[in-house]
Amino acid sequence: MIREKVTIDANEAVAYVAYRLSEVIAIYPITPSSGMGEFADAWSASRIPNIYGTVPLVAELQSEGGAAGAVHGALQTGSLTTTFTASQGLLLMIPNMYKIAGELTSTVFHVSARSLAAQALSIFGDHSDVMATRQTGWALLCSRSPQEAQDMALISQAATLEGRIPVLHFFDGFRTSHEVNKIEQITVDDMRAMINDDLVLAHRNRGLTPDNPVLRGTAQNPDVYFQARETVNPYYQQFPAIVQAQMDKFAGLVGRQYHLFDYVGAPDAERVIIVMGSGAETAEETAKYLVGKGEKVGVLTVHLYRPFSVEHFLKALPATTRSIAVLDRCKEPGSAGEPLYVDVITALSEGLAAGTAPFKTMPVVIGGRYGLSSKEFTPPMVKTVFEELAKPEPKNHFTVGINDDLSHTSLSYDPTFSIASADVKRCMFFGLGSDGTVGANKNSIKIIGEETEYGAQGYFVYDSKKSGSVTISHLRFGPGEIRAPYLIGLGDANFVACHQFNFLERLDMLKYAAPGSVFLLNSIYGPEEVWDKLPMEVQTTIIDKKIRFYVIDAYEVAQKTGMGGRINTIMQTCFFAISGVLPREEAIEQIKKSIKKTYGKRGEAVVQRNFEAVDQTLENLYEVKVPGKVTSNFTRRAPVPAEAPEFVRDVLGPMISYNGDDLPVSLLPVDGTYPTATARWEKRNISLEIPAWDPDTCIQCGKCAYVCPHAVIRIKVYDPAVLEHAPATFKSTEAKFKEFPGMRYTIQVAPEDCTGCGLCVESCPAKNKTQVGLKAINMVEQPPIRETERVNWDFFLTIPEADRTVFQPTTVKNSQLLEPLFEFSGACAGCGETPYLKLLSQLFGDRTVVANATGCSSIYGANLPTTPWAHNKEGRGPAWSNSLFEDNAEFGLGMRLTLDKRLEFAHELLAELAGEMGEDFVAEILNADQSNDAGIQAQRTRVVELRKRLAQSRNARARYLNEIADILVRKSVWIIGGDGWAYDIGYGGLDHVLASGRNVNILVLDTEVYSNTGGQASKSTPRAAVAKFAANGKGLPKKDLGMIAMAYGYVYVAKVAMGANDAQTLKAFLEADAYQGPSLIIAYSHCIAHGIDMRKGLDQQKLAVQSGIWPLYRYNPALVDEGKNPLTIDSKDPTVSVQDYAYNETRYRMLVQSDEARAEMLMNQAREDVSRRWELYRQMAAMSYKKDEE
Amino acid sequence: MIDLSTQYLGLKLKNPLVASASPLSKKVDTVKKLEDAGIGAVVMYSLFEEQIIHESHALDYFLSHGTESFSEALTYFPDMEHYNVGPDGYLDMIRKLKESVQVPVIASLNGISTGGWVDYACKMEQAGADALELNIYFLPTDLELEGIALEDAYVELVRSVRAQVKIPLAVKLSPYFTALPNFARKLVGAGANGLVLFNRFYQPDLDIETLEVVPDLVLSTSDELRLPLRWTAILYGRLQADLALTTGVHSVEDVVKATMAGARVSMMASELLSRGIGRVSEILADLEKWLETYEYHSIQQMLGSMSQQAVADPAAFERANYMKVLQSFDRRL
């Protein structure tokens, strides 16, 4: 049978099989497994049937714990059920996994294995999560590549149905889940042939039904629990053989033979590496290379890790084995060794004791850790492990791939060692996320994979920023399969493309270039002038490596052909033209075919525009005649300025310049604690346009700074004397503040930190009287003013901040005189969330502890290298932490409990020490009014005085008070997260924390989807909007979280939308913080996942309010005591139709474009939702709370 | 029995009332209501090539924006199997209307490229449109663009469409041509079977509070009838093409005037949008009553009866008319 060759990643390959073998699929998004759920949901929405001819039912749950519960229920009632997850999600499934295994239930969970959050969260791949489930009783089956992942998905289903042991099928997150590789796709017939219908029927018949009732899930007593637990042993004993039999059956059908343990290498190997996952392929390929050089080495791949078959394991090992290195892709601190190592030791000991081992004496066995969090695992590392095994006393419990200068566990290796074959072409592309580089490369590798005989592989690396992010694409192609699950190494790339000219001053790309390779540069400078524009290091490398150098002005071609900033098609055409992988004409034909396939659905105009770009590319592509000498007089710039703090320079700097892999262990904090205020050193210069202030037009309203998502627009009022040392171009005008007579006023932009989102311009209400197209703040080109504005910015920073004690931040205008302590985040340009965080940091930042749920805000808030959370000159600022996704409310409550307890203790100590400290002074402290900044500042002064007095005391209790005296200054707890947390996974906790009555402030940055994982539906997603996991448009209305919270009666609740009413937002923040109980602010946050022009985000907020979709209100329980209704509706009756708001957004519009009838139906219902809710609020707000006058 | 029937673009219409291009034709239900109210024919809302292109590019932009930039969110939307961004929705509506109503359905098209005009025109014909109205809506703002070049382009466009399409073609014109009769003759020479007088552009307004240019849709009034009325009267009988009058038709008097000037059909939109579809039957009843009162037995009888060629004083439609108004105004001083 001829099977189709497809070039896809493992997530798609696995989902393809899992979907077709299932009836019920319960999903929840988590990186890097979300793709599998997304495929399943999209296929279900498209009514694609499974192998039984019915469309699987795909249901999104509120958490992975929920998904596991739903899976358990579906299994208990006899459905063929699956789910997809990773990392913390898998941990949440563990309780149900015990149950499912204990009940001998056939199912497969597909896991893209990922690190667990310890000292930090990491989304990348290792086996920490899977290893945390090894005690649950599940079979653990590991795949090494996209091809294997697809195959094992089928084998695991066949095995679980036969053996009744549930299977956790896993593969390496990102490295395998996201690696695009050419695979042979198994067919529906293959699936049918592998799945025994009798076993499916048996599974169904074990399901609960009132027609044949049984009881499952009893409580057992000491008399029988133990025995009952032992009843399953035969199933576990038989399971390895069942899996092997299914592997053999699969081989008979498809031709690919797998074993529980696969050995590759010299038959008489003396040194053997034992390893699981993608690293096994690297080890295997390296071993083959070394065997070719005459070395007696081999690699044993573990496929079935649980149940661990000692018998099969021992049989797979060569009898000649003398030393073994067991590699674990996880860390188990404090253990005798990592899990696979311990299992191997056990198996060998048992085998030797029983006489079933292939050798008579125990080999030397060492264990090592590698590849945590997708750390590279490469042939040089494999080679060094083999070399270690040859030593008389090899290092045990080693690490490889890092420089451990602390505990000296690491093995050193020669990074220049390469097994790269000359037959395989290796190409690297450095681009921006926004320029479409990755998309083009995915298309290219598909073209090569599906239109040539070559094997093809693509892997894509992204940085952690959501704006201006750098992408690096690694493409390999050549004869045969590409089995190289690691990045292209130093000096190995035959083709290096730089899609952004300014990368040359930041990144050393050509270190990857092989001698005689090709370098393609997107350059505004033509072939005659480009040379002199290159940094010295680049020129040197081009000459030394005899690199062929090409340039194209892709942006010019893109502009001419209407492609805007998308240079993807143009650079792709250059790649094919230069690389010669296909004859030029054929390549162009294939590119166009691929364009048609990718963009055809979006309309002929899009296709034609791309065609035009392809056609115009080649005439603009030039080879540069490389001069024989270096002519440049400048070098690459340092990642951070020399004046940066030492930690920023030495530790964060290498991370910023993509050299974090070189950092030794000793330089990293032991407990995950990092300094704040570091984003200010990462001058990213990502925007070609920045705002410029026109003081003559400005009305000093502060709105531009208020809405700036990146805190790059700052306002100060100051003494005119300050201007004495001002740079010549520094702008200043008379301050129009009653609190600051005679002072000067400046709005200054941080030119190198601006993302160019333009929200400031959109928010500016002041228009130039003679040219209304200009406002008081206007976008201008950045490069011509970068240097002067940088000097102005530096000067601006030296101007003292306004004295918080002399004005009230109760107006938008005044609030923007407060220093932001959240600045320059890597959030999307124009982010709708970050302005709220900035405001919070301005108002309360110097006395706030933040509990931040996992999600966008934790990523732009704390993904290394830097953090936007900052401190003021006194060193005060938000103290921030992230626990998990699901527990954030409780986490924040814990913080509050500490503060409350500490304050209570401080008060007790003050009372004890009152005599010594001064009764009046203590009373002043205890009764201090800290309702505003002046009061808080006065209390800080008192605490300083208190500390002086305490220092003089001989009372042992005085030391206690001295340690905790800061608590006497009012502190706030802000609990922050997105709607995925607040409405779904964290809702139970959030509800409890609201109910607790404790003084916490909860800020929900409501984007109405799981933004961070790519826009999956949450319970906040409104009706009629399309989202992932709601591909047909959400059919039910948005959950009314505010209404639920109001039901408690003692929770402060506000619904705000900064773009619609900035003053109301400010008021809500101030009231929430002032309220001595739980507060909840639900903040409309426009988002890239809405599919809007982000520059118009504020307009959308306005329309959301005007249409009634997002009513503004404040519910302040404190008003009840005054006999007032606690609910104040701050927005007017709807004046705009819901459609006029909704159809500006792709999330709503795409449903009209894909299913007009459903869109119309849902929109009608959405309109009814709005009217009903509005009426309900109106009635609530009209209720009388007047106290009985009698 | 009074005969209200008329011929337009070779189509037999039971009366001269035609619903001109408006949102009313976006739904089958409302078109059926128009038919039930007695409408003679329906011109569908316009298919704008520029809008199709814009929607296509917008969809592409928003589906691509932010993608492949960040490890956890490689895309932000599910990949739908199909997006209705081309002309398919419009063509489907033609088919649905043809299945649902008996009155003639005239498709309306506004293109921006010759290829687009011809391609969409062919598709509309294939979808079953009884006739095609080419809505040559274009506002020339380029200082270098000469009037003759624009006119030639329009004529070439009509010729290109005519060469590919067999159903009748009408051209909907704006009044802003220097030598309208000559241009009209060229259009007819290029293959237009009818001329629709006139297109009515939305005129933006200035908001002096917000200092913004605001789109402002103002529905027409009977006062606006004068302009098309005059040109209908001038062109009637001088071209081998049917004339349709649109803009300012709100009452039976307007219909009678249009017909007397020479319009085979009177097109209405504003009246129906502001006062409801029921106006069709009211105006038709009024029309029958008017004919009866003034003892006309058919619409044909009065067609062009007050055209420039038919009136006693043809100059009344020309500059002299302006002079006369001034004089009459003077007398009142």
Average pLDDT of chain A to the nearest whole number: 97
Would an 8 Å CB–CB cutoff place B85 in contact with chain A? yes
A1097 to chain B, minimum CA–CA distance in Å? Answer: 14
Catalytic residues of A: 31, 64, 114, 1012
Whether A680 has a pLDDT exceeding 80, the answer reads: yes
| Residues comprising chain A, all counted | 1190
**Residue A998 backbone dihedrals phi, psi, to 5 degrees:** -75, 155
A470 to chain B, minimum CA–CA distance in Å? Answer: 7
Whether A413 has a pLDDT exceeding 60, the answer reads: yes
pLDDT value for B328: 52
Whether A946 has a pLDDT exceeding 60, the answer reads: yes
Q: Mean of the pLDDT values across residues A244-261?
A: 98
Parse chain A into domains and list their residue ranges: 5-210+221-253, 259-411, 425-623, 674-811, 890-968, 1007-1182
Whether B332 has a pLDDT exceeding 50, the answer reads: no
Q: How far apart are CA A710 and CA A704, in angstroms?
A: 11
B67 to chain A, minimum CA–CA distance in Å? Answer: 7
Q: Any idea which of A74-78, A133-137, A300-304, B115-119 has the lowest mean pLDDT?
A: B115-119
Q: How far apart are CA A83 and CA B132, in angstroms?
A: 54
Would an 8 Å CB–CB cutoff place B143 in contact with chain A? no
> Which of A41, A1088, A1143 to mutate against chain B (most B CBs within 10 Å)?
A1088
SS (H, E, C) chain B: CCECCEEECCEEECCCEEECCCHHHHCHHHHHHHHHHCCCEEEEEEEEHHHHHHHHHHHHHHHHCCCCCCCCCCCCCCCCCCCCCCCHHHHHHHHHHHHHCCCCEEEEEECCCHHHHHHHHHHHHHHCCCEEEEECCCCCCCCCCCHHHHHHHHHHHHHHHHHHCCCCEEEEECCCCCCHHHHHHHHHHCCCCEEEECCCCCCCEEECCCCEEECCCCCCCHHHHHHHHHHHHHHCCCCCCEEEEECCCCCHHHHHHHHHHCCCEEEECHHHHHHCCHHHHHHHHHHHHHHHHCCCCEHHHHCCCCCCCCCCCHHHHCHHHHHHHHHHHHHHC
Whether A432 has a pLDDT exceeding 70, the answer reads: yes
Whether residue A1150 and residue B86 make contact (CB cut-off 8 A), yes or no, is: no
Residue of A nearest to B57 (CA): A606
For A:893-922, CB contacts with B below 8 A are none
Q: How far apart are CA B5 and CA B264, in angstroms?
A: 10
Q: Mean of the pLDDT values across residues A522-528?
A: 96
Most confidently modeled range among A434-443, A560-569, B123-132, B308-317: B123-132
Count CB pairs under 8 A between chains A and B.
150
pLDDT band at B86 (very low <50, low <70, confident <90, very high): confident
A602 to chain B, minimum CA–CA distance in Å? Answer: 6
- Find the DSSP H helices in A829-918: 834-844, 856-862, 888-917
Q: Mean of the pLDDT values across residues A378-404?
A: 98
A695: its two tokens: 């003081």
Q: Sign of the CA dihedral A355, A356, A359, A361?
A: negative
Q: How far apart are CA A300 and CA A323, in angstroms?
A: 13
pLDDT band at A172 (very low <50, low <70, confident <90, very high): very high
Whether A177 has a pLDDT exceeding 50, the answer reads: yes
pLDDT band at A510 (very low <50, low <70, confident <90, very high): very high
Pick the CATH number of A425-623 from 3.40.50.720, 3.30.590.10, 3.30.930.10, 3.40.920.10: 3.40.920.10
Within this chain, domains A259-411 and A1007-1182 share the same CATH topology: yes
One-letter amino acid of A1188:
D
Would an 8 Å CB–CB cutoff place A1034 in contact with chain B? no
Considering only CB atoms, B68 lies closest to which of A471, A767, A1028, namely: A471
Whether B320 has a pLDDT exceeding 60, the answer reads: no
**Percent share of chain A, pLDDT over 70:** 100
Q: How far apart are CA A808 and CA A727, in angstroms?
A: 31
Considering only CB atoms, A1154 lies closest to which of B64, B80, B212, namely: B80
A979 to chain B, minimum CA–CA distance in Å? Answer: 16
Contact in structure between B184 and B234 (CB atoms under 8 Å):
no
Whether residue A603 and residue B85 make contact (CB cut-off 8 A), yes or no, is: yes
Whether residue A1146 and residue B63 make contact (CB cut-off 8 A), yes or no, is: yes
Q: How far apart are CA A889 and CA A1001, in angstroms?
A: 10
Q: How far lies A905's CA from each of A521, A669, A879, A928, A994, in Å?
A: 65, 31, 22, 17, 24
Whether residue A1088 and residue B72 make contact (CB cut-off 8 A), yes or no, is: no
CATH of domain A1007-1182: 3.40.50.970
The residues with which B244 forms a beta bridge, in sequence order, are B196, B265
What is the bridge-based pairing of β-strands A1001-1006 and A398-400? unpaired
A674: its two tokens: 């990092």
Residue/partner pairs of A1115-1122 with CB below 8 Å, 24 or more apart: A1115/A1042, A1115/A1045, A1115/A1046, A1115/A1051, A1115/A1052, A1115/A1053, A1115/A1054, A1116/A1052, A1116/A1071, A1116/A1075, A1117/A1049, A1117/A1050, A1117/A1051, A1117/A1052, A1117/A1075, A1117/A1077, A1118/A1052, A1118/A1075, A1119/A1185, A1120/A1049, A1120/A1185
pLDDT band at B322 (very low <50, low <70, confident <90, very high): low
Q: Residue A708: exposed, middle, or buried by beta-carbon count in 10 A (0-12, 13-18, 19+)?
A: buried
pLDDT band at B313 (very low <50, low <70, confident <90, very high): confident
pLDDT value for B113: 82
pLDDT band at A1190 (very low <50, low <70, confident <90, very high): very low
Q: How far apart are CA A621 and CA A522, in angstroms?
A: 10
CATH of domain A259-411: 3.40.50.920
More confident site: A1186 or A700: A700
Whether A671 has a pLDDT exceeding 70, the answer reads: yes
The predicted complex's ipTM stands at: 0.93
Contact in structure between A851 and A1008 (CB atoms under 8 Å):
no
Residue of A nearest to B86 (CA): A603
Q: Sign of the CA dihedral B272, B273, B275, B276?
A: positive
Whether B324 has a pLDDT exceeding 60, the answer reads: no
Parse chain B into domains and list their residue ranges: 6-332
Would an 8 Å CB–CB cutoff place B72 in contact with chain A? yes
Q: How far apart are CA A193 and CA A416, in angstroms?
A: 47
Would an 8 Å CB–CB cutoff place A1012 in contact with chain B? yes
pLDDT value for A76: 98
Whether residue B79 and residue A42 make contact (CB cut-off 8 A), yes or no, is: yes
Whether residue B77 and residue A1146 make contact (CB cut-off 8 A), yes or no, is: yes
Chain A residue numbers with beta carbons less than 8 Å from the beta carbon of B120 are: none
CATH of domain A674-811: 3.30.70.20
More confident site: A1189 or A735: A735
pLDDT in tens, B275-296: 999 999 999 999 999 999 999 9
**Percent share of chain A, pLDDT over 90:** 97
Whether residue B70 and residue A464 make contact (CB cut-off 8 A), yes or no, is: yes
CATH of domain A5-210+221-253: 3.40.50.970
Q: Mean of the pLDDT values across residues B237-252?
A: 96
Would an 8 Å CB–CB cutoff place A214 in contact with chain B? no
Whether residue B82 and residue A601 make contact (CB cut-off 8 A), yes or no, is: yes
Whether residue A767 and residue B72 make contact (CB cut-off 8 A), yes or no, is: no
Considering only CB atoms, A606 lies closest to which of B60, B73, B75, namely: B60
Q: Mean of the pLDDT values across residues A777-791?
A: 96
Would an 8 Å CB–CB cutoff place B67 in contact with chain A? yes
Contact in structure between A877 and A870 (CB atoms under 8 Å):
yes
B89 to chain A, minimum CA–CA distance in Å? Answer: 9
Q: How far apart are CA A855 and CA A662, in angstroms?
A: 28
B173 to chain A, minimum CA–CA distance in Å? Answer: 27
pLDDT band at B79 (very low <50, low <70, confident <90, very high): confident
Would an 8 Å CB–CB cutoff place A1026 in contact with chain B? yes
pLDDT in tens, A305-324: 999 999 999 999 999 999 99
For A:441-470, CB contacts with B below 8 A are 442, 460, 462, 464-466, 469
- Helix (H) or strand (E) segment spanning residue A990: helix A987-996
Whether residue A1088 and residue B68 make contact (CB cut-off 8 A), yes or no, is: no
Q: Mean of the pLDDT values across residues A371-379?
A: 98
pLDDT band at A292 (very low <50, low <70, confident <90, very high): very high
B58: its two tokens: 């917008």
pLDDT value for B105: 98
Whether residue A602 and residue B83 make contact (CB cut-off 8 A), yes or no, is: yes
pLDDT value for B312: 87
**CATH class given for the domain over B6-332:** alpha beta
Whether B333 has a pLDDT exceeding 50, the answer reads: no
**Residue A470 backbone dihedrals phi, psi, to 5 degrees:** -95, 135
Would an 8 Å CB–CB cutoff place A602 in contact with chain B? yes
Whether residue A1153 and residue B56 make contact (CB cut-off 8 A), yes or no, is: no
pLDDT in tens, A67-77: 999 999 999 99
Whether A870 has a pLDDT exceeding 90, the answer reads: yes
Q: Comparing C-alpha atoms, which of A1019, A1085, A1082 is closest to residue A1053?
A: A1082
Chain A residue numbers with beta carbons less than 8 Å from the beta carbon of B86 are: 603-604
What is the bridge-based pairing of β-strands B205-207 and B194-197? unpaired
Which residue carries 């009046």 as its tokens?
Answer: A920
pLDDT value for A471: 96
Whether residue B83 and residue A1153 make contact (CB cut-off 8 A), yes or no, is: yes
Tell me whether the omega of the peptide bond preceding residue A32 falls within 30 degrees of 0, making it cis: yes
